[in-house]
Structure 1
Amino acid sequence: MNAWNPGGQPPYDPRAGHQPQPGPYPPPPQGPYPPQPPDGGHPPRIPHPYVPQPYPPHPGPPVPPGPFRRLWVRIGPIHTARRVFKPSRPGMVDDALVARVQKIRTLVGLGALVWMSLAYKVAQSVSDIADDRLSQSWNSVLMLSVTFPVAMGVLLALAAPSARRELLRRAGRCFGAIVAIVAAVAVFPAAVLSGFVDGRFATGPAMAVVTYGVTILTFLWVVPFIFWGIGLALVHVFRTADIHETVPPLLAMTLVWEMTLVDLFTDAYAGVPGPLRVLLMLGAPVSVTAVGLWELHRLRVHHGIAVRDMLMRQPG
């Protein structure tokens, strides 16, 4: 008896005719299959042996875009509109929460306008509402194009003399964005008045192909640029954050009250009842003003940027 033979059984030697003695444990099952059930049912299912799967191929390095893709990114209408109308001054504060609140306010205001316009028959269809919103957006761009130079003159008059050159340099891209959107819209009347669309310059087969090809490509580029540019110009207020972070909310509040006065004098929403008409006309300016004041407060509290910093005057 030892640690390896606790029962004291004699060793098993098949050559001597010895038989193994029964131990405390049952013998292992015979054969590769489990015992069959006595009731004649199906035997238990044998799990399928695990087969190792090959590893997925390792992804290679990203394939660089082709020359046409790089050209489209560089000169495409949407990418060009982003470069022209989005502010890009180094060190500029970009608050993601403010941008999210502005988008929510815009969507809620647009939904309320669509519902009231359809409920009170101000517009006959959704397409009429879209045309009206596009027209109002373009009027806002024109109004902002007039308001911005006036506001810039007031800013230069109040700013420190040593800062006026820097402010004018920063405002250069803002004026460039105004010129870009006006020039893009002017392409259509210029093409019609010059006879380019009517084929005035198509004096031969080759010139006809060139003329109509240029016309189609121009319209395919200009139309997305105009639509995307109008939206970005209004959201970023002609990229006036390049001047100072507090300029966009101030100009946005000024613009929305100017457009409210225009709606008042043009008798907008004439088919809407009195209380709802007042709510519809004042909803946009009140909400934009609330968001603008909150944005100014957030810039001052969380980022240390105040309106007086725009004047670049030394304290004292």
Structure 2
Amino acid sequence: MRLGGCVWALLLFCLWPLLLLLTVYPLARTACRKAHQVFPGHAYPRVVDPFMKRVQDARAWAALVASGLILVAYGAEQTFSDLQEQYFLRVTTTPWLLLLTAPLVVLVVFRLAPPAARPGMRSGLAFSGRAALRYFGAFTAVPLLFVGVVFVNAEYTSSVTLGPLLMLGMLAPVVWALFFVVFASLTLVPSVFGISRVHSGLPALITGVLVWELAAVNLAASGLPPGPLPVQLCAVLGGPASVTAVAHWELKRLRTHYGVTFRAPAARGPHAPNDPA
């Protein structure tokens, strides 16, 4: 029994989510396994204080609720599309801002540290630097692979018709590399490439600087958020100011509870093994 074109179209329309899942899931699973193998979580420790984590989560949820209320009260359809563009901009610019910001902050902390603590800080810095280079190599490979697929497609489709299976095969490395970067980011970005190996206070210090850089980038790219001027100022300055306040409190708590300072050898924080500072 032969099936007509309409029946095939209906079957494809109904089954395409399953076909997409069967295609993407193996790529995501292998990329996740490889990312955890190259960047194991235990190798990138962070100072984990349960109370500190609850405060950070509460600030994040409060910022999310405040942003949602502003959008509901003053937003429009165009504003929601701008929000998607801002999210994409944040995802793509944050790793590069980290790459530029972290060395400058580390240099300042290195100059403040006593000479006796600097050899251990150098070994931790070498580890973080290697992790950053590997990560940004993978991060840069994603657009390069995609450009290569577009070039091949534009070069050969004029003379040869590329079938859908061949196109999926060409896009598979791009999707795999993208998943690899996403899963690696879950380990590396929160720990700032394991920078707590250099000093336990560096993640909070870098976060306090990075959030203002991201705010400046968002303001330059998208302008002021919707609403009256007081609401706009609160939306622009409230997020970075609250993150900076929490980071300052975190540094103070690290100093008073765990002996982590910048002008003296820093004691190890909780759940931060192999911290040379």
Length, aligned pairs only: 237
TM-score normalised according to structure 2 size: 0.67
The one of 223, 244, 247 equivalent to 1:289 is 244
Partners of 1:160 and 1:222 in 2: how far apart?
41
Query: Aligned-pair distance for 1:311?
Result: 7.4
Decide whether the 8 Å contact of 2:114 with 2:264 is kept in 1. no
Aligned residues with identical type, % of pairs: 25
2:120 aligned to which of 158, 166, 169: 166
Give distance in 2, aligned partners of 1:297 and 1:281: 25
Higher Cα radius of gyration? 1
Pair 1:271-2:226 in alignment: yes
Q: String of CA shifts for 1:161-204, please: whole Å, max 9, x gaps.
A: 454332122023322343344323322331244357635699xx
* Bigger mean CA offset, 293-302 vs 192-201: 192-201
In structure 1, stretches of 5+ residues that fail to align are 1-71, 203-207
For CA contacts below 8 A with separation 6 or more, give which structure has more relative contact order: 2
1:4 match: none
Structure 2 equivalent of residue 247 of structure 1: 202
Deviations 1:70-90 (A, max 9, x none): xx98x5427726963856367
Quickly say closer, same or farther: Cα 1:149–1:122, change in 2 above 3 A: farther
User: Is residue 2:84 matched to residue 1:124?
Assistant: no
Mapped pair 1:140 → 2:94: yes
Q: Given the superposition, is the C-alpha separation of residues 79 and 108 from structure 1 closer, same or farther in structure 2, using an over 3 Å criterion?
A: farther
Which residue identity does 1:283 align to in structure 2? G
Partner Cα distance (2:65, 2:187) in 1: 20
Distance (Å, rounded) in 2 between the aligned partners of 1:241 and 1:293:
16
User: 2:142 maps to which residue?
Assistant: 188
Alpha-carbon distance in 2 for matches of 1:160, 1:170? 16
Letter in 2 for 1:276: V
**Higher alpha-carbon deviation: 272-281 or 302-311:** 302-311
Task: Return the alpha-carbon distance in structure 1 between the equivalents of residues 169 and 51 of structure 2.
Answer: 43
Name the residue aligned to 1:102.
56
Shift of 1:240: 1.6
Residues 82 and 232 in structure 1, CA contact (< 8 A), matched pair in contact too:
no
Q: Which has the higher helix share?
A: 2
1:293 deviates by 1.9
1:227: which partner in 2?
Answer: 182
* CA apart distance, 1:280: 0.5
Range 272-281 or range 208-217, more displaced: 208-217
CA distance in 2, matches of 1:115, 1:149: 37
TM-score by length of 1: 0.60
- Deviation string 1:220-270 (CA, Å, 9 cap, x unpaired) is 322233334445544323332222211111111111223334445556225
**Aligned match of 1:5:** none
Say if 1:196 and 1:211, in contact at 8 Å, map to a contact too: no
The structural deviation recorded for 1:217 is 3.4
1:147-162 matches, within 5 Å, as 147-162=101-116
1:11 corresponding residue in structure 2: none
